[in-house]
Amino acid sequence: MASSIDTIPGPPHDGQAADAADPARGLTAAEVAERVAAGEVNALPPRSGRTTGQIVHDNVFTRINAMLGVLLVFVLATGSWINAAFGLLIIANSAIGIVQELRAKRTLDSLAVVGEAHPRVRRDGAEAQIERDDVVLDDIVLIGPGEQIVVDGVVTESAYLEVDESLLTGESDPIPKKPGDEIMSGSFVASGTGGYRATKVGEDAYAAQLTAEAAKFSLVHSELQAGIDWILKAITWVLVPVGVLTIIGQIRVGADGWREIILSVSGALVPMIPEGLVLITSTAFALGVIRLGRRKCLVNELPAIEGLARVDVVCADKTGTLTENAMAFGSLEALGGHGEEEAREALRQLGAADDAPNSSMAAIVDGVGRAERPWTVTARQPFTSAKKWSGMSFAEGGDWVLGAPDVLASSGSSRAAAAAGGRAQEIASTGLRVLLLGRAGAEVTAEGAPGEVDPVALVVLEQKIRPDAAGTLEYFRNQGVEVKVISGDNADSVGAVTRSLGMDSGAPVDARRIPDADFDGVVNESHVFGRVTPQQKRAMVSALQGAGHTVAMTGDGVNDVLALKDADLGVAMGSGTAATRSVAKIVLLDDKFATLPHVVGEGRRVLGNIERVANLFLTKTIYSSILAILVLLFAVPFPFQPIHVTITGWFTIGIPAFILSLPPNNERARDGFVGRVMRFGFPAGAVVAVASFATFMAVRDPHPTAQQAAQASTAALVALIISATWVLATVARPYEWWKIALIGLPLVGYGVIFTTGVTQRVFKLDSGNLEAMAVGTAAGLIGAAAIEALWWILQRATGERRPYWLPKAEREAAAAQRRLEREALRAERAAQRSAGR
């Protein structure tokens, strides 16, 4: 996103503008049709970033497939079709990746349509809400507080219109806009109302660039993906010299012909390629998008899933997050010598004069009704989070203000003002929301407004606490995620709400009274904040990040935009403003705060499980590389043919790794993915390689017959399988019944393969030498014991203790999670069937 307005060209005054329709009428249906036919429509790039063709291309033409493809061609040239079985990995990797990404793309596209802005336009003199893509050149687009500017244009009407261009320029102060001023897509309305004529649409508008970046299925800027890419690049560099040296080594030991050399080289190189790691990574991310989509959660940026797992602080707004966004009118308490009817009439007039009422004013209008004979408005001051009040000046009724009592009462020096402030504080401490209605001492737009305020009445609004808020806060507390409630409301009111939710958060802090010198310390030590301005919200996010925290910020209003943008993970409510939805990485389309635990859990599932299976693949790469080097150093034939390492890779690594990537995982992500994987993968791979190679050297005949060579290979393979299976056994911890089955069933399958005559012939094995098989079994068991010891040593060295068995509470939580996922899947399928009918 641009950091300076100079980098974004402004919309020219289109030549058609002079002939365009009157702004008060807008375009006619015929004029709209003409522009659509001429292509002057707001056609934007695909919502999910990549087309179907690009997804297919990117899953077929990968570094992994290229490596395997070259080796496959050479093996097929030998005529040994069974040894070319690893070629099925190319098809499997591509097919599974394509299917999952297309499913994720469909999920993103369908959710993006719900979550995107729906602009209002004036056509044929009437207001209509249309799709973002249906805006045409010269359309008159109407805008109000919190709405995003969807195309570039020129302002045609303005009622105290102020636009926030901070997302484009970095400048946080709202900019007043009057007719004739340029207005840029990507900015949003901070206050006031107005309209503008569209002068740039489609790819010409800056909004096209924003759309191209939103909801993109991409793994960029991901520490996990960067780590995997580093591993793949390192393997690519190792493959070439190892391949060349293996060829030289096989020639030295007198390999019988080019076919034997190719099979030996392929047997050495194929297992070095972590063919399933990239597949499982992309599949896990795609499934994360799909699972979250079932919960009406739109992931605007896929790397956000990784960010979810790293979050250790959640900054939650009160209104719209802990409480429902809508409020209800509670009561009216007249002050001083003023009567209740005087206050009600003033509120009716304020409601009638407000073209874009916020949730508070909407509740007041529902409670007191609208004025039958509206007064004439002479000046208007829209509400902003910075001022905390709004006002109207009327020709008949004078100057009125409505806003935060502790702000407006401080504008008055009378006893009445002090009494009003004290009474408002008393009510707010019970968790109710209180506004002060008063007569201003000056016109509401005058310098120094509102002047001396005469309190007329306290307006009490009831806010309903979300039924799922308490459970959500409890989840975060149990998972070690700190929650900070940051609100623009009265601090005592916010504190009362959090206490009612069981949040032991200490005394609430009034953000206006935090000393600048102590700001960072107070933010990190306290948990509940009231009267926070938009700039303070942004500064709070920065202070938490400066202390080393990974911060998630939730919000739904204009005042949350800057903080959402700066947070590591911005989460917007679906009913919030278009501006908040556009900058958030995740949008909760159904406004359910209770979805956040599932969002965090999904991130942890993806990262924790991928790290777990990465240990398997790196171990395989290491033991294959070490075997190739040992074969070269000792000048012996390579022990295995490609079919041997294929069956080992599939049943000890590939299939178990895929299954292990799916279950819930509550481990919070940590930095240092590559380092942790290598700390286990390198020594574990070395143990497997030594166990296998030692067996091969112990049982081989220096001048073997074909049968003796097969028997030595079979014994070495037994040692490899037993020790590699124990790598799987340690990585799979903590155990559940299905993990035990995952470890045991392949061993049963291997037993069948190694003892049945048909399978031995097919897989080129010979277990007839019982002495050699005993040596292989013993070496494998010793290797398993060494890997077990390695697991314990690393546990002690790092201070991380992973239990053998999953605790009962976690088993029950995992079972509940699986039930919820099955129910969500059934609901999704039912909705699809209903839509099909």
pLDDT at position 497 is 87
Instruction: Report the pLDDT value the prediction gives residue 112, as an integer from 0 to 100.
Output: 62
What are 623-660's pLDDT values in tens digits? 888 888 888 888 888 788 778 877 887 788 878 888 88
Residues 120-143 have pLDDT tens digits of: 999 998 999 998 888 999 999 999
- Confidence tier at 723 by pLDDT (50, 70, 90): very high
Assign 540 a pLDDT band (cuts: 50, 70, 90): very high
Q: Each residue of 661-674: pLDDT tens digit?
A: 888 777 776 777 78
Q: Residue 253's pLDDT is what?
A: 61
Share of the chain above pLDDT 70, in %: 84
Q: How confident is the model at residue 394 (pLDDT cuts 50, 70, 90)?
A: very high
- Over residues 76-99, the pLDDT tens digits come to 887 777 677 667 767 776 787 787
Cα distances (Å, whole numbers) of residue 525 to 483, 484, 668, 687: 11, 10, 22, 48
Poorest-pLDDT segment among 26-30, 477-481, 576-580, 583-587: 576-580
Q: Confidence band (pLDDT; 50, 70, 90) for 11?
A: very low
Residue 7, pLDDT > 60, answer no
Is the predicted pLDDT of residue 384 greater than 70, yes or no?
Answer: yes
Given a cut of 60, whether residue 18 has pLDDT beyond it is: no
pLDDT at 716 exceeding the cut of 80: yes
- Between CA 365 and CA 371 the distance in angstroms is 10
Question: Cα–chain-centroid distance for residue 698?
Answer: 53
The better pLDDT of the pair 510, 261 is held by 510
**Cα–Cα nearest to 141, from 159, 123, 163:** 123
Q: What is the pLDDT of residues 149-188, one digit of tens each?
A: 888 899 999 888 888 876 666 555 678 898 999 988 878 8
Fold type of domain 328-411+426-460: Calcium-transporting ATPase, cytoplasmic domain N (3.40.1110)
Count of helices and strands (H, E) across the chain? 29, 21
Q: Give the DSSP H or E segment for 435.
A: strand 433-439
pLDDT band at 400; cut points 50, 70, 90: very high
* Distance of alpha carbon 138 from alpha carbon 122, whole angstroms: 11
Single out the residue of 751, 792, 741, 742 nearest to residue 616, CA to CA: 742
Predicted confidence at residue 188, as pLDDT, reads 82
- Residue 69: is its pLDDT beyond 50? yes
8 Å CB contact between 613 and 279: no
pLDDT above 90 coverage of the chain, percent? 23
Angle at 394 between CA 389 and CA 395, to 5 degrees: 160
Q: Residue 658 and residue 358: Cα distance in Å, rounded? A: 49
- pLDDT tens-digit readout, 806-825: 777 666 666 666 666 666 66
Question: CA-to-CA distance for 316 and 723, rounded, in angstroms?
Answer: 48
Which residues neighbour 622 within 8 Å (Cβ) at sequence distance 6 or greater?
681, 682, 684, 685, 686, 689
| Whether the Cβ atoms of residue 284 and residue 661 lie closer than 8 Å to each other | yes
pLDDT in the model for residue 776: 94
Q: pLDDT tens for residues 194-217?
A: 999 999 888 777 555 544 443 344
Provide the pLDDT for residue 3.
32
Domain ranges of the chain: 298-322+466-593, 328-411+426-460
Q: What is the pLDDT of residues 212-267, one digit of tens each?
A: 443 344 433 467 777 777 877 777 777 777 777 777 766 666 555 667 767 667 76
Residue 549 has a pLDDT of: 92
Bigger pLDDT: 16 or 799? 799
Residue of 138, 152, 317, 489 with catalytic role: 317
Question: Taking the CA of residue 95 as centre, how many other CA atoms within 13 Å lie in the half-sphere pointing to its CB?
Answer: 5
Per-residue confidence (pLDDT) for residue 216, from 0 to 100: 40
- 281 with 520: CB under 8 angstroms? no
Q: Quick one: which of 256, 151, 270, 257 has its CA closest to 211?
A: 151
Average pLDDT of the segment spanning 48-63 = 75
Give the tens place of pLDDT for each residue, 408-442. Answer: 887 666 788 888 888 998 988 888 889 999 999 89
317 is catalytic: yes
Mean pLDDT of 511-538: 90
How many alpha carbons lie under 13 Å from residue 205 in its C-beta half-sphere?
A: 32
pLDDT band at 9 (very low <50, low <70, confident <90, very high): very low
Higher pLDDT, 605 or 263: 605
- Please give the sequence-ordered ranges of beta strands (E in DSSP) within 138-285, or none if there are none: 140-143, 152-164, 175-176, 182-183, 188-200
Cα–Cα distance measured from residue 695 to residue 717, given in angstroms and rounded to the nearest whole number = 9
Q: Please provide the DSSP assignment of 115-146 as one string.
A: HS---EEEETTEEEE--GGG-BTT-EEEE-TT
Of 356, 361, 751, nearest to 577 by C-alpha is 356
Give the fold, CATH level 3, of 298-322+466-593. Answer: Rossmann fold (3.40.50)
Mean pLDDT for all residues in the chain: 81
pLDDT at position 337: 82
Give the pLDDT confidence of 328-342 residue by residue, as tens digits: 898 999 998 899 999
Torsion (CA) 287, 290, 292, 298 in degrees, nearest 10: 130
Q: Which candidate, 423, 443, 424, places its Cα nearest to that of 433?
A: 424
* pTM for this model (two decimals): 0.69
Per-residue pLDDT tens for 26-41?
Answer: 899 999 999 999 888 8
Q: Quick one: pLDDT at residue 278?
A: 73
pLDDT category at 4 given cuts 50, 70, 90 is very low
